[in-house]
Amino acid sequence: MNENNFEGITKDYFSKYIAIVQQVIMAPAEFYRQMPKSGGLVDPLIFMIVMGVVGGILRAILGVLGIGFAVSFLVAIGSIVLVPIFVVIFSFIGAGVVFVIWKLMGSQESFETAYRCFAYAGAISPITVVLDVIPYIGPVLGVLWITYILVNASVEVHRLEPRLSWIVFGIIGAVLCLASISAQISARRMATNMTTFQNQIKNMQNMKPEEAGKAMGQFLKGMQKGSQ
């Protein structure tokens, strides 16, 4: 393959993926209505990896800038390298979960179709990475968005009743929203405790051993009460 052919193929894939992202974001019902139900797993898998890498780069940039979960430059680069591996694993696990859900709802479609639905829903992942930096609200918006997309896939691809689709995925989405909020509260509480602990250690450096032991005991008791 010469350089011109490679550039042409790369450009074709880039244009194709941009079009998919635009459709999934702007008109998910129309996208899933026209989405081929078969054609192999390679294309949707590559698409999901590309979206994962883009999302990983955005997360790394935000982390290095101290926005959201702060990380060092080396950790950011390492996370980008590992993204494709995690995306491949997660794509099959996630597709398997929604495949079972759709089957229980009455879908007659294959795992391949479920995988394609799930993989192309990943078009919103780079945007949800940015939304995640907004405390509490951002992750919830991401869950609500993916819920809306999966409902469209249920109706347009799996030919399931809209009301049933909204009930099932609405309940799942609500549970995930509550879990996300709870996890964020716990993470912020832990971060506050760690900061307090570090400050306490600094203050204890100039104390006598007896005073330091007493201060540490009071601090640990306070942490125990706060966690209850």
Model pLDDT, residue 197? 53
Q: Considering the domain boundaries, does residue 205 fall inside one?
A: yes
pTM of the model: 0.76
Residue of 13 and 98 predicted with greater confidence: 98
Count of structural domains within the chain: 1
Model pLDDT, residue 217? 55
Q: Considering the domain boundaries, does residue 67 fall inside one?
A: yes
Q: Considering the domain boundaries, does residue 197 fall inside one?
A: yes
Give residue-wise pLDDT tens across range 142-159. 999 999 999 999 999 999
Is residue 91 over pLDDT 60?
Answer: yes
The whole domain housing 157 covers: 13-227
Q: Considering the domain boundaries, does residue 31 fall inside one?
A: yes
Q: 185-190 contacts: CB < 8 A, separation 24 or more?
A: 188/135, 189/226, 189/227
**CA angle (196 as vertex; 195, 200 as ends), nearest 5:** 120
Provide the sign of the torsion angle of the four alpha carbons 67, 134, 92, 28, taken in this order. negative
Count of beta carbons in the 10 Å neighbourhood of residue 102? 25
Whole-number Å distance between alpha carbons of 69 and 17: 28
Q: Considering the domain boundaries, does residue 4 fall inside one?
A: no
Q: Considering the domain boundaries, does residue 6 fall inside one?
A: no
